[in-house]
A and B are shown apart, each in its own frame.
Chain A
């Protein structure tokens, strides 16, 4: 065993089974969600003028045509209708967007009223908007969920959409309804129907167990991917959610692996005996960026996601690390200490035209390009560590958080919300947080154990 660990060549002769030793049971891939036309579709314009966080939205239980058994809820489709409305309510409330009122303090509408609300029932409740919906069990065991948004002042339908989902995916229908309401009322792109990969942490500060884990954007459907026998760090979902790249010490060295969620298999990102760090996907999923240390000097490399030869993109002496593509894939923003301290640089996707972006005092690290392309989030280090944003020309610096150590921002799919992790002084405990672009709405995300390195994926396919 001694020589297996010590001789680099032997590491690569290690069988696949050894590489997989830290993985739990393989997962089932999620099913596709089918969108269906709802009667009416898009109609009027929104009557409400004012701050969206003052906008009252009533979200009563979704109705069902027949209360029947469903694998999605032990108590049948009527109970599932209540759960759907609860998920939508907490989606909207937890993001500080509106003033939603959920099914637990509202009457339940009849199935027939979903497409033609009983206005008198709702007009006394002070809500400007009304969400109605239904759930119906299909003969093939799947569920049809319809979602309707009404403007109370206009007494008119603003938007309607429906989806056919597998019973296990019922929460996705609720997220899609929350996304529909959010998008219609704000004009922004959706973000609730998405997932987050992160690192779950347990144990004392000098002996932390760090496991790869995934969950829905609201914390539901939580799963551990690795068992925790070896340290896992810095995951990223592929844009199609079929793979995860992450760092694992499974063979004793820090190396980047590509984990296939469907098959449960994983492979090294590159066949090299050098340590590799900081993996990132290109927006189209065709390339993976990673950083590799050779003789203590770290550079950024690009490799096709299907394997093959790596191309080195940076060659400055020092540490060049990370890298985040612009949404169109033409540019990469990255971190380098070539000036003497960590700063943010930008280059063309082939490594040309490298130039420094950050001139804010202190150090700037972990840049992440917004999916909208208009902002770059990063960790600003000036005494404390805080999440900040700038525009892609390096101007418009704004600090969004005030923690002692906030780092590693990741963007919501719509580029309006940022998650990051916060480390507590002395105890070393970590937790996931999110903040909107105003910096005003900050909240801690619920996770089963301590958590770091959040990576928010795109809207689910």
Chain B
């Protein structure tokens, strides 16, 4: 439970930072906590395997596995960096886990450009994680452009949900 509380503290301070700054923070975010002393003893031995998507989701929370972008943009804003810091904590804690960042766009773009834009978004998320200490060799990126929407409507709300970089672990 200690890690949970620590997480919440980091998260809330990051969110507070987000609230008072319009731009993404210039400074690098704080390095991940030293977790060697707090390696959790898995609460239930029958629980999800370390590194599985289920385990990753349970540890960081569904909402923290996906970052969202404005139309045609790929910058990591404060809200995104808070989510990516949460992901970084997980990947620091489990250094054997490798993962993929999937870059996506909304449907309101041409197909080829969107493939390149999705790649740029996945890379932006990857670069952030690398900047906070996750080795690039553990991170694969793939762009699906506009080919794999999660929200199916043709409206602003659906498009906003589809402009995303989703982190998935492979198991």
Chain A positions within 8 Å of B, measured between CB atoms, are 2, 5-6, 8, 204-206, 208, 210, 231, 233-234, 247, 252-254, 275, 277-278, 291, 293, 295-298, 319, 321-322, 335, 337, 341-342, 365-366, 379, 381, 385, 405, 407-408, 423, 425-426, 428, 452-453
CB-defined contacts of A425 to chain B, threshold 8 Å: 154
Question: Can you list 18 A-B contacts with CB-CB less than 8 angstroms, sorted by A residue number?
Answer: A2-B98, A205-B152, A247-B115, A252-B142, A254-B143, A275-B142, A277-B112, A291-B116, A293-B119, A296-B74, A296-B119, A296-B120, A298-B116, A298-B120, A319-B117, A365-B110, A423-B107, A426-B153
Q: Quick one: closest A residue to B72, CB to CB? A: A341
By the criterion CB–CB under 8 Å, are B124 and A275 in contact?
A: no
By the criterion CB–CB under 8 Å, are B147 and A210 in contact?
A: yes
Among residues 113 to 171 in chain B, which have CB atoms less than 8 Å away from a CB atom of chain A?
113, 115-117, 119-120, 122-124, 127, 140, 142-143, 145, 147-150, 152-154, 170-171
Distance between Cα atoms of A205 and B151 in the complex (Å): 9
CB-defined contacts of A426 to chain B, threshold 8 Å: 152-154
Q: Which of B108, B115, B117, B149 contacts A254 (CB 8 A)?
A: B115
* Count of CB-CB pairs between chains A and B under 8 Å: 102
Cβ of B111 within 8 Å of any chain A Cβ, yes or no, is yes
By the criterion CB–CB under 8 Å, are B110 and A379 in contact?
A: yes
By the criterion CB–CB under 8 Å, are A234 and B112 in contact?
A: yes
Q: Quick one: closest A residue to B99, CB to CB? A: A6
CB-defined contacts of B143 to chain A, threshold 8 Å: 254, 275, 293
Distance between Cα atoms of A252 and B143 in the complex (Å): 10
Among residues 79 to 130 in chain B, which have CB atoms less than 8 Å away from a CB atom of chain A?
98, 100, 107-108, 110-113, 115-117, 119-120, 122-124, 127
Q: Quick one: closest A residue to B158, CB to CB? A: A426
Known: A205-B152, A253-B142, A295-B123. A408 touches B113 (CB 8 A): no
By the criterion CB–CB under 8 Å, are B107 and A319 in contact?
A: no
CB-defined contacts of A335 to chain B, threshold 8 Å: 112-113
Distance between Cα atoms of A321 and B108 in the complex (Å): 17
Known: A5-B140, A253-B142, A428-B107. A275 touches B112 (CB 8 A): no
Q: Which of A5, A206, A407 contacts B110 (CB 8 A)?
A: A407
Distance between Cα atoms of A278 and B117 in the complex (Å): 13
Known: A6-B140, A206-B152. A293 touches B120 (CB 8 A): yes
Question: Taking each of A5, A6, A341, which has the highest tally of chain B beta carbons within 10 Å of its own beta carbon?
Answer: A6
Q: Which of A233, A295, A319 contacts B113 (CB 8 A)?
A: A319
Known: A296-B74, A321-B112, A321-B116. A2 touches B150 (CB 8 A): no
A269 to chain B, nearest CB (A): 15
CB-defined contacts of A6 to chain B, threshold 8 Å: 98, 100, 140, 170
Q: Quick one: closest A residue to B117, CB to CB? A: A319
CB-defined contacts of A295 to chain B, threshold 8 Å: 123, 127
Distance between Cα atoms of A297 and B141 in the complex (Å): 13
CB-defined contacts of B142 to chain A, threshold 8 Å: 252-254, 275
By the criterion CB–CB under 8 Å, are B112 and A208 in contact?
A: no
Q: Which of B98, B110, B115, B148 contacts A275 (CB 8 A)?
A: B115
CB-defined contacts of A247 to chain B, threshold 8 Å: 115
By the criterion CB–CB under 8 Å, are A231 and B147 in contact?
A: yes
By the criterion CB–CB under 8 Å, are B116 and A277 in contact?
A: yes
CB-defined contacts of B127 to chain A, threshold 8 Å: 295-296
B131 to chain A, nearest CB (A): 13
CB-defined contacts of A321 to chain B, threshold 8 Å: 112-113, 116
Closest 5 CB pairs of A and B: A296-B123, A298-B116, A296-B120, A293-B119, A278-B112
Q: Quick one: closest A residue to B155, CB to CB? A: A426
A166 to chain B, nearest CB (A): 36
Known: A208-B147, A210-B147, A425-B154. A342 touches B110 (CB 8 A): yes
Distance between Cα atoms of A366 and B111 in the complex (Å): 9
B158 to chain A, nearest CB (A): 9
Question: Taking each of B111, B143, B149, B171, which has the highest tally of chain A beta carbons within 10 Å of its own beta carbon?
Answer: B111
Q: Which of A319, A407, A452 contacts B116 (CB 8 A)?
A: A319
CB-defined contacts of B152 to chain A, threshold 8 Å: 204-206, 426, 428
CB-defined contacts of A428 to chain B, threshold 8 Å: 107, 149, 152, 154
CB-defined contacts of B74 to chain A, threshold 8 Å: 296
B44 to chain A, nearest CB (A): 24
Q: Quick one: closest B residue to A421, CB to CB? A: B111
CB-defined contacts of B153 to chain A, threshold 8 Å: 426
Q: Quick one: closest B residue to A383, CB to CB? A: B108
Known: A275-B143, A365-B113. A296 touches B171 (CB 8 A): no
B155 to chain A, nearest CB (A): 8
CB-defined contacts of A278 to chain B, threshold 8 Å: 112, 115
By the criterion CB–CB under 8 Å, are B148 and A206 in contact?
A: yes
Q: Quick one: closest A residue to B152, CB to CB? A: A205
CB-defined contacts of A277 to chain B, threshold 8 Å: 112, 115-116
B109 to chain A, nearest CB (A): 8
Distance between Cα atoms of A231 and B110 in the complex (Å): 17
